[in-house]
Structure 1
Amino acid sequence: MTENNTQIQAKVAYQILQGFEKSYRWFTRITRGAQERFEQAQWQETHKAVKERIAIYEQSLSDVVAEIYQQIHPHQKDEAFWHGLKSAFMDTLDDHPQFELAETFYNSVIGRIFKHQRIDDSLMFVLPSRCFLPGRDREKVINAFDTSGTVRAMMESILSMYRFNTPFVDQEADLQSLDRALRQRLNREQLASVHTVELLKPVFYRSKSAYLIGRICMPDRTLPFVIALVVTHDRRLIVDALLTHRHDLSVIFGFARAYFMADTQYPAEVVAFLQELLPNKKHFELYNSLGHYKHGKTVFYRNFLNHLANSDDQFEAAPGIRGLVMAVFHLPSYGIVFKIIKDEFPESKKITREHVKECYRLVKMSDRVGRMADTHEYVNFRLPRHRVSQPLLDELLDVATSSIELTEDEVIIKHLYIERKMTPLNLYLDNETDETKIRHALNELGLCIKQIAAANIFPGDMLHKNFGITRHGRVIFYDYDEICLMHERTFRDLPKSDDPYALDTLSVSPEDVFPEQFEHFIVGKRHLKAILKELHPELMNPNFWRAAQEKSRRGEVQHFTPYDASKRFTR
């Protein structure tokens, strides 16, 4: 008997859900392994797990789409079939704990089938199928602790709840440090008013740290409550800090950091709780931070559509010096920049379009150590034509015409990246007059370059225009077209000679780098060069780069705490 459309729709909807759930089980299995990797100080395995978890999505998506093609001929189906398929898929999601992620997976399947030519809510979940009401599953993601006793008793209760298969170096000292830190933050009256301390059940693992994340609840306000833990080289546990300021939590969840490993079956509830702690973070940023970067893209797009509907400014070229590889534009009222690869590069850029894409993939797979902006890749991204300024449209058609398609109502960008907006460092330094802030920014610039190198990435083009500065004063690298792994460069000394033509006759390969020349081009103005050289003379020393290269070769994983060193407990 021939199956009717309803039966086929139900079967395909089930295939898609099964594909998603298989993918999520795989994702969860890797995430759950984070605790053992942390306890055993398996830092190389930690980095491998990060890469594997990012790759899961595309593999699962390809498998499901192949199964669907075995079941049906998609392009022989009419509109009604796809509308019915969406309805059938919605029926499978009743009370599903990851319904929002499943909807994004469904979108990816439809996008792959239609080659991302159809962005239509009747075919896919451009808008969510339901509103998520935080709180329904709150008890499934939260541990609440008794505050009627002493601070010390509460801290003991917390450390006994979150158990690790590795001993503390000195748990008594850690408990004393936690007690003292909280009493320094809250006076006696405030402590007496605390009625609840809540911590998320999942531990948040990233690189060499683990975080217990929650909040202190008082009648008139709540404060973040974060216990940061690290493992020593001999695999023993230390409480490194107690963080109770939103700024510290915001930096931990920064957009330039690697994704957390945090095991939960209720991601929407976890994100809702985090949003209450970090009201200035967008929902998509919090999903990204948990490693659900594909759903982060979906939530961003919804946020973007909502912003478009509630604003009227026009897209225009982003402030700063025009790039040689990317055309960059923004909507002034929105905190995102959009980047398109240009059609042609100048002779000085001996790279290809595919090389640029590979560089962005490399950053995605790397530990960004708080110094490299996360990016998201889109195809066939649509802008209302009337919102694109004519000068910008003219520029895009001039430098990136192969990526632009025009309709009467839309500008369709065939391939682009989005990235958090920052103030370009060169503009910041040009306009800042406070010498203390200038020194801080230049110190941050040097730290940024050093920490990227410690993460096994050579930044390549280190002109300060390729860095941005955040509202917290942190310098972030965001231009990736010349990055590479550290072992792909040879760091050489300049020849010592009285001959002014010695450098001209030196045999130089494309992989050769001369750090002693860095001072001439990282920053342009003489007094800025002097400050940078004073603060970070190592950057101009080939030995520093060779030592960093050797550490990467040996597989050493560096550790950079995202919070200020002054917050760390002394021992």
Structure 2
Amino acid sequence: MHDTALAKKVAYQILSQFDKSYRWFTRITRGAQERFEQGKWKETQVASKQRITIYETSLSDTVAEIYHLIAVHRKDETFWQQVKRIFAQQLEGHPQFELAETFYNSVIGRLFKHRKIDNSFMFVLPSRCYLPGPDRPKVVNSFDTTTTVAQMYHSIFKCYRYNIPFENYDRDIANLETALRKRLTTTQLASVHTVEILKPTFFRGKAAYLIGRICMPEETLPFVISLQRSDNSELFVDALLTERKDLSVTFGFARSYFMADTQNPAEVSAFLQELLPNKKHFELYMSLGHYKHGKTVFYRNFLQHMENTDDRFEAAPGIRGLVMMVFHLPSYGVVFKIIKDEFAESKKITREHVKDCYRLVKMSDRVGRMADTHEYMNFRFPLNRMHPALIEELKATCASSLTFTDNELIISHLYIERKMTPLNVYLQQETDKDNVYNALNELGLCIKQIAMANIFPGDMLHKNFGITRHGRVIFYDYDEICLMHERHFRELPKSDDPYAIDTLSVGPNDVFPEQFEHFIVGKRPLKTILKQLHGDLMTAEYWRTVQTKCARGDIQHFTPYSADIRFPR
């Protein structure tokens, strides 16, 4: 077979494997509604994990097929450039062309071990610029606003139907109407010309969301109806979200990916971007479960940011970690984390263990309390943008992960994570007593909610938590996490001898919660507040109770918005 025919065959195989994987992705996503209606919460968690693994499975199958077809490394650069050109032609009119380009990049990356990050071989830049609008009618429903508010809500629920009865339909309509009238003045209500809602329902955990906007001549507001299923297998409206900050937290980087069934992800993410202009485009793709494409969009955003700035990478602020070396670009909203070559004596773990911990978090329900991390291979940094002190520190701590060329530093394996203010730094600097109180309350809630999601955080020093601009505390240091059943929570012995614990038989998995107060936060006033708010965290009984719930398979639900906007039932 001559090279052009082979190039066509390779391009066709990559695209057909992508299409197959997207059908698989869609099938799992589409099942979310039935799982929600029937309250199949364990199946919901299994489906979430399955959907994350689809990509790697499809990628491995595709690479194996290509190796079976051709001698990959005997083909010259011209051949692979031809494959890319043919693939781009095949994508004409494809409804998921941008995701297919990312899949193509992953295949080439796997074939050449990420050594050919070059736009002539891969779609480092997109093949075309997507202009939102033409596919809008395919992803959005518009509702008549010339009727009464109640009639508009009736028409919404005629359109969005679920195979589950309402707990109290009239009450829910009244709650929704009251909430909207409270949010908008009479003049604003009269000026509303359109209400638009995305066609797919957004399912996550034990909740479902109708996501849209209210359009007025002078402004546009989010319009999000939050639905839940009662223990009696009935549907109820939990809240109406009309504030951008509430929607922003709902789409937060510490939450699991939504299941929202669409064949037009570019148009859906463009609509969401209009609703949430402060969210980066890559974050929105990730929130829809397209985390690999989110990584592609992130890399393009990163390259663009580098072109438009001149600051230098430096070590991240805060106390140095014992396992990870962390650095950042001051003008950019992420941190870069590299596993160190050697760990401190106190860390009895391996490099592979650390990777397993990060994988566990990826697969778990992050309940709004654990930052999503994104793994990259052979990530390239311009040497002239690296601070000399940072280069020296990287050489001293992570030498095995570094390769230097004349003008680049290539890091073989790293994680990228959203930048937050480390909680210890925040508490040192914050002078407002209410903010300190809120941060410590959030810290306790964060630890509790992670535990109820069946994860024991392990190292709970406050330096391992960050605080967001919305005041939420998020955990981000995963090297000592484990499942709840893997720890044995014990009381300290009652003795006058301060060294009595040394005489105990202490197993490697034993944990003494009474000691937590000595190291979660350092200063006595902060300890006192944390104990007042969350003193139960310092008791073995509390942790054993959570263990029992996790062992029973209880699945918790934590709403991403505050309790005071939930409707009365």
Q: Specify the TM-score bucket, using the shorter chain as the normaliser.
A: over 0.9
- Residue equivalent to 2:455: 457
- CA deviation string 1:414-434 (max 9, x = no partner): 000000000000000001111
In structure 1, C-alpha distance between the alignment counterparts of 2:133 and 2:541, rounded to whole Å: 55
| Alignment map for 1:488-527 (pairs within 5 Å) | 488-527=486-525
| Alignment map for 1:375-390 (pairs within 5 Å) | 375-390=373-388
Q: Give the 3-state SS of the residue equivalent to 1:412 in structure 2.
A: strand
- Residue equivalent to 2:208: 210
Q: Give the 3-state SS of the residue equivalent to 2:503 in structure 1.
A: coil
- Residue equivalent to 1:271: 269
- Residue equivalent to 1:441: 439
What is the letter of the counterpart of residue 331 of structure 1? L
- Residue equivalent to 1:331: 329
| Alignment map for 1:285-434 (pairs within 5 Å) | 285-434=283-432
In structure 1, C-alpha distance between the alignment counterparts of 2:189 and 2:499, rounded to whole Å: 72
- Residue equivalent to 1:240: 238
Task: Tell which deviates more after alignment, 291-300 or 499-508.
Answer: 499-508
Is 1:545–2:558 an aligned residue pair? Answer: no
In structure 1, C-alpha distance between the alignment counterparts of 2:296 and 2:44, rounded to whole Å: 27
- Residue equivalent to 1:555: 553
In structure 2, C-alpha distance between the alignment counterparts of 1:309 and 1:216, rounded to whole Å: 37
- Residue equivalent to 1:141: 139
Structure 1 residue 509: deviation in Å? 0.9
Q: Give the 3-state SS of the residue equivalent to 1:373 in structure 2.
A: coil
In structure 2, C-alpha distance between the alignment counterparts of 1:498 and 1:311, rounded to whole Å: 62
Is 1:224–2:222 an aligned residue pair? Answer: yes
Structure 1 residue 500: deviation in Å? 2.9
In structure 1, C-alpha distance between the alignment counterparts of 2:505 and 2:23, rounded to whole Å: 54
Task: Tell which deviates more after alignment, 231-240 or 265-274.
Answer: 231-240
Is 1:81–2:79 an aligned residue pair? Answer: yes
Which of 150, 153, 156 in structure 1 is aligned with 2:154? 156
In structure 1, C-alpha distance between the alignment counterparts of 2:500 and 2:198, rounded to whole Å: 62
In structure 1, C-alpha distance between the alignment counterparts of 2:553 and 2:343, rounded to whole Å: 35
Q: Give the 3-state SS of the residue equivalent to 2:495 in structure 1.
A: coil
Structure 1 residue 347: deviation in Å? 1.1
Q: Give the 3-state SS of the residue equivalent to 1:313 in structure 2.
A: coil
Q: Which runs of 5+ in 2 are unaligned?
A: none
In structure 2, C-alpha distance between the alignment counterparts of 1:431 and 1:198, rounded to whole Å: 43
In structure 1, C-alpha distance between the alignment counterparts of 2:237 and 2:158, rounded to whole Å: 13
Structure 1 residue 311: deviation in Å? 0.3
Q: Give the 3-state SS of the residue equivalent to 1:329 in structure 2.
A: strand
| Alignment map for 1:117-128 (pairs within 5 Å) | 117-128=115-126
Is 1:186–2:189 an aligned residue pair? Answer: no
- CA deviation string 1:142-194 (max 9, x = no partner): 00000001000000000111000000000010000001110000111110000
Q: Give the 3-state SS of the residue equivalent to 2:211 in structure 1.
A: strand
Q: Give the 3-state SS of the residue equivalent to 2:268 in structure 1.
A: helix
- Residue equivalent to 2:114: 116
Structure 1 residue 330: deviation in Å? 0.1
In structure 2, C-alpha distance between the alignment counterparts of 1:54 and 1:239, rounded to whole Å: 29
- What is the TM-score with the length of structure 1 in the denominator? 0.99
What is the letter of the counterpart of residue 537 of structure 1? G
In structure 1, C-alpha distance between the alignment counterparts of 2:103 and 2:233, rounded to whole Å: 38
Aligned length: 569
What is the letter of the counterpart of residue 87 of structure 2? F
What is the letter of the counterpart of residue 92 of structure 2? D
Structure 1 residue 510: deviation in Å? 1.1
Is 1:173–2:182 an aligned residue pair? Answer: no
In structure 2, C-alpha distance between the alignment counterparts of 1:455 and 1:22, rounded to whole Å: 32
In structure 2, C-alpha distance between the alignment counterparts of 1:356 and 1:73, rounded to whole Å: 36
Which of 124, 129, 132 in structure 1 is aligned with 2:130? 132
Structure 1 residue 19: deviation in Å? 0.5
In structure 2, C-alpha distance between the alignment counterparts of 1:253 and 1:120, rounded to whole Å: 32
Q: Give the 3-state SS of the residue equivalent to 2:416 in structure 1.
A: strand
In structure 1, C-alpha distance between the alignment counterparts of 2:281 and 2:324, rounded to whole Å: 27
What is the letter of the counterpart of residue 267 of structure 2? E
Which of 21, 24, 32 in structure 2 is aligned with 1:23? 21
What is the letter of the counterpart of residue 452 of structure 2? A
In structure 2, C-alpha distance between the alignment counterparts of 1:226 and 1:17, rounded to whole Å: 36
Structure 1 residue 233: deviation in Å? 1.3
Residue identity (%): 72
What is the letter of the counterpart of residue 226 of structure 2? A
- CA deviation string 1:321-350 (max 9, x = no partner): 000000000000000000000000011000
Q: Which runs of 5+ in 1 are unaligned?
A: none
Q: What is the root-mean-square deviation in Å for CA atoms of aligned residues?
A: 0.5
What is the letter of the counterpart of residue 11 of structure 1? K
Q: Give the 3-state SS of the residue equivalent to 2:238 in structure 1.
A: strand
In structure 1, C-alpha distance between the alignment counterparts of 2:498 and 2:251, rounded to whole Å: 51
- CA deviation string 1:465-495 (max 9, x = no partner): 0000000000000000000000110111111
- CA deviation string 1:272-313 (max 9, x = no partner): 000000000000000000000000000000000000000000
